[in-house]
């Protein structure tokens, strides 16, 4: 019975260590992702596309580790989202400019 309890304690310790490592990795990934998002937000559309192109090339590399694939996939989505936001903002500016021009023409 004591051996059984000892095995349960060892199993529990292993689970706690694993959970601790998972929590630490999750924290580091969240911190890293926040840093990446901060860096991406400062890039122009062209710079973002260049980075996205680099990541896509990395994703196609057969020697890339699974963990790197996952990280690159997440980064690619962040770059793509940033590009879409920039395009939406420019589109809105063009719509506003066009509306103002049409309004000024109709007032003439």
Q: Which residues span the domain enclosing 6? A: 1-42
The per-residue pLDDT for range 92-101, each reduced to its tens digit, is 998 888 888 8
Count of domains observed in the chain: 2
Are 108 and 74 in the same domain?
A: yes
Are 80 and 36 in the same domain?
A: no
Are 36 and 51 in the same domain?
A: no
The per-residue pLDDT for range 36-79, each reduced to its tens digit, is 899 999 999 999 999 999 999 988 888 888 888 888 888 999 99
Residues 6+ apart with CB under 8 A from 17: none
Whether the CB-CB separation of 79 and 52 falls below 8 Å is answered with yes
d(CA 92, CA 83) in angstroms, rounded, equals: 14
């Amino acid at each position: 019975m004591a051996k059984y309890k000892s095995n349960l304690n060892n199993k529990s310790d292993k689970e706690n260590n694993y959970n601790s490592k998972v929590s630490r990795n999750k924290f580091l990934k969240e911190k890293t992702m926040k840093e990446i998002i901060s860096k991406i937000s400062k890039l122009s559309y062209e710079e973002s596309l260049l980075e996205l192109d680099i990541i896509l090339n990395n994703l196609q590399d057969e020697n890339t580790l699974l963990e790197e694939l996952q990280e690159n996939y997440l980064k690619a989505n962040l770059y793509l989202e940033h590009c879409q936001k920039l395009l939406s903002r420019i589109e809105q500016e063009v719509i506003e400019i066009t509306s103002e021009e049409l309004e000024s023409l109709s007032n003439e």
